[in-house]
Structure 1
Amino acid sequence: MSVKARIEATLTENLLPERLVVIDESHQHAGHQPHFTGAEGTHMRVRVVSAKFSGMSRIDRHRIVNALLKPELDAGLHALAVETAAPGEPTNW
């Protein structure tokens, strides 16, 4: 299973999202450091709308996502961009 698929599965199971988009941006970082080849799964962007975020601050939402994805970060996910919203909140994505 790919990093992207594992992230999707973890967030779906734990956040029951209304909307979830996981974008692999690894190719945009090729060559930034010698070991960044642009290979899949090193740089990910997560966009998630979940009722579980209702009434939470942005930092608390990010903490939840980061905690859920800690195994991926520990396994080599280098960068994680997180965009969260509760249902009904405006997004620009």
Structure 2
Amino acid sequence: MTKAAEIEAKLTRGLAPQRLEVVNESHLHAGHHHAGSDHHDSFDGTGETHFRVRLVAEAFAGKSRLERHRAVNAFLAEELATGVHALAIEAAAPGEPTRF
């Protein structure tokens, strides 16, 4: 199972979203690395390390942006600890305006 599929499965089970999109953006980050760190030196953009998740879920109703991000991060803690380097989150409750 790909990382993208794992992310989708975990968020579906945990949040039962009305809408969910998992976008692998790893190819956009080829060659980027952080000063003082060598763990990105060989990154070529072909892996599954950078993702964007867009989701609408009832679980986000009445929650702040920070609370929504914490919830998503909690469901994906294993992925964030084992290879997912970056996760952009666009989370909304039903009826809220979205840009996705």
TM score, norm. by length of structure 1: 0.97
| 3-state DSSP of counterpart to 1:81 | strand
Aligned residues: 93
Structure 2: gaps (5+ residues)? 34-40
Report the equivalent of 1:45: 52
TM superposition outliers: structure 1 runs of 4+ over 6 Å: none
Report the equivalent of 1:29: 29
Cα offset for 1:36? 1.9
Cα offset for 1:48? 0.6
Q: Does 1:58 align with 2:65?
A: yes
Distance 1:17 1:36 in 2: 32
- When Rg is computed on C-alpha atoms for both structures, the one with the higher figure is 2
Structure 1: gaps (5+ residues)? none
Report the equivalent of 1:5: 5
Distance 1:32 1:21 in 2: 24
Q: What do residues 35-68 of structure 1 show as CA deviations (whole Å, max 9, x unaligned)? A: 3210231000000100000000010000000011
RMSD: 0.7
